[in-house]
Amino acid sequence: MLLKFRINKREAWASALLCTLGLGVVLIGSGYSLGSLARIGPGFFPVALGTLLTFLGLLCLFTGGMSPDEEGEDADAPPQWRGWGCIIGGVIAFITLGRYGGLLPATFALVFISALGDRTHTVRSALLLSAFVTVVGILIFSWGLELQFPLLQWG
């Protein structure tokens, strides 16, 4: 089976966005102290994630165009506005509820609203996914990493 390399415009733009965002995070994060592996500083995590994001952007660019000789997705498909709207709405809900309600309602709302952007999810499956991710997130970030983000707060 012969693989052809072609670059889809949508994949190229997505890869460029990932690389730009990753490089921006690395640039901003490098302004903070990186520390050492034994005692990491506040800039270590953003720089590591930004580097990973840039690498994934490059990987998407070069592996996204590798496909068998068969037809791929329709390049002229309309944008999925429901998915975009739900993801953006979920992030806005997380920011708002995180500031005024705490980690628990913010995480639940982010996952629930974002999951509704996928047409295969039902309200029930979105609720179950939200509950599971919220519990795991609280265990990791509040208990495990002792993140200074209140679980619940009023006002």
Do 90 and 110 meet the contact criterion of CB atoms below 8 Å apart? Answer: yes
Residues 6+ apart with CB under 8 A from 33: 41, 42, 43
Do 108 and 130 meet the contact criterion of CB atoms below 8 Å apart? Answer: yes
Does residue 134 belong to any structural domain of this protein?
Answer: yes
Are residues 63 and 89 both part of a single domain? no
Say how many domains are in the chain.
2
Are residues 60 and 86 both part of a single domain? no
Residues 57-75 pLDDT 10s: 888 877 765 555 445 555 5
Are residues 8 and 58 both part of a single domain? yes
Do 27 and 2 meet the contact criterion of CB atoms below 8 Å apart? Answer: no
Write the DSSP symbol of residue 138. Answer: I
Count CA within 13 A, CB hemisphere, residue 141. Answer: 15
Instruction: Find the domain containing 85 and state its range.
Output: 81-144
Does residue 57 belong to any structural domain of this protein?
Answer: yes
Does residue 73 belong to any structural domain of this protein?
Answer: no
Are residues 54 and 99 both part of a single domain? no
Does residue 154 belong to any structural domain of this protein?
Answer: no
Looking up tokens 């068969």, which residue turns up? 70
Residues 6+ apart with CB under 8 A from 125: 115
Are residues 8 and 62 both part of a single domain? yes
Residues 82-111 pLDDT 10s: 888 888 999 999 889 888 888 899 999 999
Looking up tokens 């992030």, which residue turns up? 91
Are residues 16 and 63 both part of a single domain? yes
Does residue 75 belong to any structural domain of this protein?
Answer: no
pTM of the model: 0.57
